[in-house]
Amino acid sequence: MTLSPTQSILITGAGAGIGRATARAFLAAGWEVTLLGRRPEALAETAQGHPARLIACDVGDPAGVEAAFAQLPRLDVLFNNAGISAPAAPIDEIPVEQWLEVSRTNITGMFLCARAAFGLMRRQSPKGGRIINNGSISAHAPRPGSAPYTMSKHAVTGLTRTLGLDGRAFDIACAQIDIGNALTDMAARFTKGVPQAYGQIRVEPVMDVDHVARMVLHMASLPLDVNTPFVTLMARDMPYLGRG
């Protein structure tokens, strides 16, 4: 599919991991890319000298998100990707502050960015666009001791379903990609062994993060009358289908 050079995307959490790999895929494909993240130097490293709009912003800050999206003349796609995790622990051992930090990024941040993108997309001319939320395998099956992260990813699924309905009147499609064991700095621990539901420590298979980037690019390239509401992309042999 040949894309117009005016196709635009904003990627949150673009300074590392999945956000960085995805941003580089869209830059290579000729999209107009806006990179959003908390660390300006990390965003510049992602861009690797390619022309891109860099916006330093904390997705959990309502005023910051509003100001960031106000800089965009148009937005065709939002990859609502920014997210954090927390150390595994039983719920009564998880500090409340840690829960608040995870929910501020993974729930409030997702909501704020989706809200800003939705408002821009419904009012631009021509109207419409696509919002792709980064969910997780944890939106289906949790890991041990992951209450804050798992709760946040179930919330993302609720957001995706709601936007999928609300967006129809404005030609806005909403999709979610649930990713399992893509090899990033955050997922490197899988290669060393992580706790399993049956109580043992096990090394888990991982996949190249570039597979995620290519899938997001494919989802973003679909015409607006077509949608992939939920896509699961995972290392084939990871303990998901048989987890527990």
The stretch 237-244 carries a mean pLDDT of 76
Please name which of 134, 223, 136 lies closest in space to residue 173, comparing C-alpha atoms: 223
CB 3 within 8 A of CB 26: no
Q: Which residue has the higher pLDDT, 191 or 228?
A: 228
pLDDT digit string, tens, across residues 42-62: 999 999 999 999 999 999 999
Mean pLDDT throughout 155-160? 98
**Rounded average pLDDT over 64-81:** 98
Band of pLDDT at residue 193, cut at 50, 70 and 90 = confident
d(CA 176, CA 89): 27
- Of the candidates 117, 104, 21, the one whose C-alpha atom is nearest the C-alpha of residue 60 is 104
Q: What is the mean pLDDT of residues 141-170?
A: 96
Q: Phi and psi of 185, rounded to 5°?
A: -60, -35
Between CA 116 and CA 101 the distance in angstroms is 21
Average of per-residue pLDDT values in the chain: 94
CB atoms within 10 A of CB 67: 13
pTM of the model as a whole: 0.93
Catalytic, out of 69, 118, 149, 240: 149
pLDDT at res. 244 = 52
Per-residue pLDDT at 93 exceeds 50: yes
Q: Is 149 among the catalytic positions?
A: yes
Nearest to 186 by CA among 214, 215, 206: 206
Residue 232 pLDDT: 96
- Give the per-residue pLDDT at 216: 98
Q: Is the pLDDT of residue 212 over 50?
A: yes
The pLDDT assigned to 194 comes to 87
Model confidence at 221: pLDDT above 60: yes
Lowest mean pLDDT among 9-23, 134-148, 163-177: 134-148
Q: Say how far apart CA 45 and CA 27 lie, in whole Å.
A: 13
